[in-house]
Structure 1
Amino acid sequence: MGQSKPIRATALVVEDDPMQREMICLLLEESEMDVIECESGEAAEIVLEQAGASLVMLMTDVQLAGHMNGVELAHVAKRFNPDMDVIVTSGIPLRQALPDGTIFWRKPWAPLDVIREAEKMSLAWSRMGEA
Structure 2
Amino acid sequence: MGQKIEPYRVALIVEDDFEVRGLAAALLEETDLKVVEASSAEEALDYLRQHSDEVAFLFADVRLPCLMDGLDLVRTVRLKWPWVRTLLTSGRPLDQREGEVPRDVRFMQKPWKALDVLMEAEKAADASRRH
Q: TM-score range by the shorter chain?
A: 0.7 to 0.9
Give 1:90's aligned residue: 90
Shift in alpha-carbon separation, 1:5–1:46, aligned structure 2, 3 A: closer
Give 2:130's aligned residue: 127
Residues in 2 aligned to 1:5 and 1:43: alpha-carbon distance in whole angstroms: 24
Preserved CA contact (<8 Å) 2:84 2:124: no
Q: Which amino acid in the other structure matches residue 90 of structure 2?
A: S
Give 1:53's aligned residue: 53
Q: How does 1:18-97 map to 2 (within 5 A)?
A: 18-94=18-94, 95-96=96-97, 97=100
Secondary structure at the counterpart of residue 29 of structure 2? helix
Alignment RMSD: 1.8
Which whole-Å deviations, capped at 9, do the CAs of 1:28-59 have from their partners, x for residues lacking one?
11112101110011111111211223311101
Preserved CA contact (<8 Å) 1:48 1:80: no
Secondary structure at the counterpart of residue 36 of structure 1? strand
* TM-score, reference length from structure 2: 0.86
Shift in alpha-carbon separation, 1:42–1:5, aligned structure 2, 3 A: closer
Give the CA deviation at 1:6. 8.0
**Percent of paired sites with the same residue:** 37
Preserved CA contact (<8 Å) 1:52 1:80: no
Residues in 1 aligned to 2:86 and 2:92: alpha-carbon distance in whole angstroms: 18
Q: Which amino acid in the other structure matches residue 127 of structure 1?
A: R
* TM-score, reference length from structure 1: 0.86
Number of residue pairs the alignment of both structures matches: 125
Residues in 2 aligned to 1:55 and 1:100: alpha-carbon distance in whole angstroms: 20
Q: Which amino acid in the other structure matches residue 26 of structure 1?
A: A
Give the CA deviation at 1:77. 1.0
Secondary structure at the counterpart of residue 108 of structure 2? strand
Give the gaps of 5 or more residues in structure 1: none
